[in-house]
Amino acid sequence: MIFCARKEANSDAVRTRLGSSASLGPTDRQMRSFPSTRPVKTTPTEQHNWSESVKEPINRELLLETCNTSTLLKPMEFRSTGNISVLDPVLRISAEMCVRVKGRERKCVCERVKVYTSNNMAYHPFLPHRGPEFAMSAMLGHQPPFFPALALPPNGSLSLPGALGKPIMEQLMGAAETGLHFSSLGHQAATAHLRPLKTLEPEEEVEDDPKVHLEAKELWELFHKRGTEMVITKSGRRMFPPFKVRCTGLDKKAKYILLMDIVAADDCRYKFHNSRWMVAGKADPEMPKRMYIHPDSPATGEQWMSKVVNFHKLKLTNNISDKHGFTILNSMHKYQPRFHIVRANDILKLPYSTFRTYVFPETDFIAVTAYQNDKITQLKIDHNPFAKGFRDTGNGRREKRKQLALQSMRSYEEQQKKENGTSDDSSGEQVSFKCFRQTSSPAVSTVGQNNLKDFCDSDEDSDEEDKDVNVKEGPDSSKISTTTEDSKDHDASLSKSLLGESDSVGRRTEKIRADSRQSPITLISSTTRSGEELKSPGREQTKTDDCRTVSKENYMPLTVQTDGAAHLNQSHLHNFGFPPGLAGQQFFNHLGGAHPFLLHPSQFNMGGAFSNMAAGMGPILAAVSSGGVSSMDTSSMPSPSQSLTGAPLPFHLQQHVLASQGLAMSPFGGLFPYPYTYMAAAAAASSAASSSVHRHPFLNAVRPRLRYSPYSLPSVPDSTLLTTAVPPMASSAIDLKGDGMTTSPTSAALDSEVTSRSSGSVSLSPKTCAEKDSSTELQSIQRLVSGLESKPDRARIGNESTD
């Protein structure tokens, strides 16, 4: 725990007695959050009453020496100590306040700490109410000196990752006077002065070449063909199929943090109509973004490579006020999971670290609160072990229901025979039930049991299956098999079709029938599987397996780099790649400052990973979020078979608890309400749709060193950033995929735009961003903080930027 271990180094710095804090506070405007905070020039003595003995730098990157100060206040003795230090590469700000009451010294909670310099002391009225995360954001979005108030956790310590801390330090060093000003519990404030020691040195980094392979790809593709749906519930649901990847090419000795997040695939809301996912309008306002850090993070490359990295613990929810750290999604919206590799030995370094992001288009899905497509339901049942109870085999509920239905049908038929002499064969349902009786035996049902290997086969038959579906029109043909292979389709389809008739009524049956119908599908690139799937069934018949094979091979992990300048885009366009020309080393935000990418702690959902972060930011996180801890899963460590060995977590905090603490964030209260805008540039280049990633030649290639940081400050409405290739939201539904899934309108339009977008994105220079005036930035911040920046705004951005 860097934070704690090094904290003591400066703890004994010389303290300077200061006058009443009333003489030290900021201006009246600044006093809004600091009761007596007018910055008063300290006396020369006070100013230079630094620690005489410059302490030995803890390491080469120690920048500032601590100068503690204390002040005696009436009626209590009020002692406060400030500490700013940079401990590779974390800037640590700590403050401790003690109140001596009747001779007994008691520690107080340090409510706020303001970092300031003597020549300026900016104060943002929103900051105190938004917590440190936003303060950091604002701080970096403005030119120095701008050191907003930082709310300190109860323990009085705050760690700022390098990306956040370095700018502060640099500015502090250039200031004539630097100090910490903090208040506590409404008492008088005190100030600590600091002085710089030396400058930061850039980190050296050894090259590596990570490659990521999606596990259970066939299963994903199987779902993808039908339009993957992921159920989101208030209590959180896991993803199925689980997101698993295998990493190679990592530096065995270096430590990495692996993360996953889920971003909107487009700016549309969908509806399931006529067995198809269709665009139903503009997307709802985005949910707070959260990053899920793999519980084993950080771990060495060797450890990561030794196992399959499983993100099965990630949970999806639609509860915007979720405090468990689950990923919050909007129902009926399309999402794209992303996988990130960050080379960092400490989660605290994440915000300024380089992200390698990998997107697997076959993993996109539509979030639903209830399954819409029965095929997906059946796929889930067939493959998710937890849903075994619903399988046609065994003694599960479905079987029992079937038996019940069978019994009732028998009695019904017997009754009809008695009444009419013969059964009514004209009744499709009855026929179905008859068939059902024939196929409901366990022996037949087991045909439907297939494993992953079967999926591969089924993959090959998917077209066949689709064709079948097409041919099968009418009530009976509507009984589409939801299984994954032909044999299953044939055998199980019978039983399932019957099942659909017998144990499903109303909407469900209707949906099954609808599934069999095919409608025109948007045709997109043939270089991608997704695109292939988007083709209409008729065209699909002309497709060869070769083509499919090729498309599979095209599922190359996408490595993108945003080091380059600020090719930020709208947050609503979540892109998954950057154009070749976007490589660079800096990351810019719309606020105009070139700055490292930022992450809000509460955006992280992490298991063990959080334990590290908790060391430095846990208190902050805890302060930001509340509750949800007690209900957390305490056994969130990956199962032995999946977890990485070695790399013991430095802390024994319960991972889920940590996750809940660290990840929970108030709605829109996070640092970046739209943290994914950084992808916009890439998106514009690669096309917003995930599938477009493959279509783009560049995106199909492996880019070992292309990197970007996934988070960047969002675009403001008036920013002219890259646009998405999102075409005007047609009121008419756009079919996405052949079998229920469709490509996003964005994808559809992107096919022909990718190239141009790519170049266009390049034109989106950081300079453009940097030229934004600070007032606009401030407004932007306010909007972000208030969560007022709505979808329409972002949509507008998209339109404007396209111009």
Partner DNA sequence: TCTCACACCTTTGAAGTGG
Partner DNA sequence: CCACTTCAAAGGTGTGAGA
**Residues at the contact surface with DNA, assessed by CB under 7 A:** 231, 233-234, 236-238, 240, 271-272, 280, 315, 318-319, 331-332, 368-372, 377, 380-381, 384-390, 394-398, 400-401, 503-504, 507-508, 633-635, 637, 639
- Which position has the token pair 């397996």? 545
**Kind of pairing between the strands at 244-248 and 308-310:** antiparallel
> Which residues does 780 contact at the CB level (< 8 Å), separation at least 6?
141, 590, 591, 713, 714, 716, 789
> Residue 390 or 674: which CB sits closer to DNA?
390
Least Cα distance to 676 among 633, 720, 635, 708 occurs for: 708
Kindly report the backbone phi and psi dihedral angles of residue 256, in degrees, each rounded to the nearest multiple of 5, phi listed first: -130, 150
- Which position has the token pair 């945003």? 562
Cβ-contact 784, 776 below 8 angstroms: no
Work out how close the CB of 511 gets to DNA at its nearest, in angstroms, rounded to a whole number: 10
> Residue 240 or 672: which CB sits closer to DNA?
240
> Residue 296 or 463: which CB sits closer to DNA?
296
Work out how close the CB of 13 gets to DNA at its nearest, in angstroms, rounded to a whole number: 45
Work out how close the CB of 328 gets to DNA at its nearest, in angstroms, rounded to a whole number: 11
Work out how close the CB of 308 gets to DNA at its nearest, in angstroms, rounded to a whole number: 14
Return the axis-axis angle of helices 608-624 and 655-663, rounded to nearest 10°: 40
- Which position has the token pair 């960050």? 342
> Which residues does 5 contact at the CB level (< 8 Å), separation at least 6?
none
**Kind of pairing between the strands at 190-196 and 64-65:** antiparallel
> Residue 237 or 517: which CB sits closer to DNA?
237
Least Cα distance to 605 among 652, 651, 670, 664 occurs for: 664
Work out how close the CB of 449 gets to DNA at its nearest, in angstroms, rounded to a whole number: 11
Cβ-contact 132, 182 below 8 angstroms: no
Neighbours of 641 (CB within 10 A): 8
> Residue 504 or 755: which CB sits closer to DNA?
504
> Residue 254 or 320: which CB sits closer to DNA?
320
> Residue 293 or 582: which CB sits closer to DNA?
293
End-to-end CA distance of the chain: 50
Work out how close the CB of 197 gets to DNA at its nearest, in angstroms, rounded to a whole number: 46
Work out how close the CB of 248 gets to DNA at its nearest, in angstroms, rounded to a whole number: 25
Kindly report the backbone phi and psi dihedral angles of residue 138, in degrees, each rounded to the nearest multiple of 5, phi listed first: -65, -35
Least Cα distance to 256 among 284, 296, 314, 288 occurs for: 296
> Which residues does 110 contact at the CB level (< 8 Å), separation at least 6?
80, 95, 96, 97, 152, 154, 156, 182, 183, 184
Rounded-to-integer distance, Cα 7 and Cα 1, Å: 10
> Residue 397 or 705: which CB sits closer to DNA?
397
Work out how close the CB of 20 gets to DNA at its nearest, in angstroms, rounded to a whole number: 52
Per-residue burial over 379-394, b if 16 or more Cβ lie within 10 Å, else e, is bbbbbeeebeebbbbb
> Residue 423 or 504: which CB sits closer to DNA?
504
Cβ-in-10-Å burial (0-12, 13-18, 19+) of 418 comes to exposed
> Residue 229 or 465: which CB sits closer to DNA?
229
Work out how close the CB of 690 gets to DNA at its nearest, in angstroms, rounded to a whole number: 21
> Residue 170 or 633: which CB sits closer to DNA?
633
Work out how close the CB of 513 gets to DNA at its nearest, in angstroms, rounded to a whole number: 16
Kindly report the backbone phi and psi dihedral angles of residue 92, in degrees, each rounded to the nearest multiple of 5, phi listed first: -115, 130
Work out how close the CB of 667 gets to DNA at its nearest, in angstroms, rounded to a whole number: 14
**Kind of pairing between the strands at 157-160 and 90-101:** antiparallel
Six-digit token pair at 195?
Answer: 């002085």
Least Cα distance to 530 among 746, 240, 759 occurs for: 746
CA torsion angle for 712, 718, 720, 723 (degrees, to 10)?
Answer: 80
> Residue 319 or 774: which CB sits closer to DNA?
319
Cβ-contact 598, 163 below 8 angstroms: yes
Work out how close the CB of 320 gets to DNA at its nearest, in angstroms, rounded to a whole number: 9
Work out how close the CB of 155 gets to DNA at its nearest, in angstroms, rounded to a whole number: 28
Neighbours of 549 (CB within 10 A): 12
Q: In which element (H, E) is residue 17 found?
A: strand 15-18
Six-digit token pair at 362?
Answer: 């076959």
Work out how close the CB of 273 gets to DNA at its nearest, in angstroms, rounded to a whole number: 8
Kindly report the backbone phi and psi dihedral angles of residue 683, in degrees, each rounded to the nearest multiple of 5, phi listed first: -65, -45
Work out how close the CB of 476 gets to DNA at its nearest, in angstroms, rounded to a whole number: 20
Six-digit token pair at 625?
Answer: 């979020």
Q: At 646, which amino acid appears?
A: G
> Residue 272 or 708: which CB sits closer to DNA?
272
Work out how close the CB of 573 gets to DNA at its nearest, in angstroms, rounded to a whole number: 22
Instruction: Bin 17: left if φ > 0, else alpha if -120 < ψ < 50, else beta.
Output: beta
Work out how close the CB of 236 gets to DNA at its nearest, in angstroms, rounded to a whole number: 7
The CA radius of gyration of the chain, in Å to the nearest whole number, is 29
> Residue 400 or 705: which CB sits closer to DNA?
400
Six-digit token pair at 542?
Answer: 């002309």
Rounded-to-integer distance, Cα 741 and Cα 773, Å: 43
> Residue 132 or 236: which CB sits closer to DNA?
236
> Residue 195 or 383: which CB sits closer to DNA?
383
Q: How many H helices and E strands in the chain?
A: 28, 26
Rounded-to-integer distance, Cα 495 and Cα 509, Å: 14
Work out how close the CB of 22 gets to DNA at its nearest, in angstroms, rounded to a whole number: 50
Helix/strand/coil for 722: strand
Handedness of CA 678, 683, 688, 691 (dihedral sign): negative
Six-digit token pair at 80?
Answer: 């406060």
> Residue 106 or 400: which CB sits closer to DNA?
400
> Residue 403 or 549: which CB sits closer to DNA?
403
